Amino acid sequence: MKRLLLILGVACAAPPREVRQEPPPTVQEAPRPPPAAVPSGPQPMSREKFKEFVHAVDEEAGDAAKLALIKSAAAHDWFTAAMAGVLIDHVVHRENKLAAVPLLKDRILDRENAFWLYQHFTYREDKAKVQEMLEH
The pLDDT, as a whole number, for residue 4 is 47
Q: Is residue 95 part of a domain?
A: yes
Average pLDDT of the segment spanning 112-128 = 95
What domain range is 103 assigned to?
Answer: 47-135
pTM of the model: 0.71
Average pLDDT of the segment spanning 14-33 = 67
pLDDT digits (tens, 9 = 90+) for 59-78: 999 999 999 999 999 999 99
- Give the contacts of 130 (CB within 8 A, at least 6 positions apart): 98, 101, 117, 118, 121
Average pLDDT of the segment spanning 106-135 = 95
| Number of folded domains that form the chain | 1
User: Sign of dihedral through CA atoms 107, 108, 111, 115?
Assistant: negative
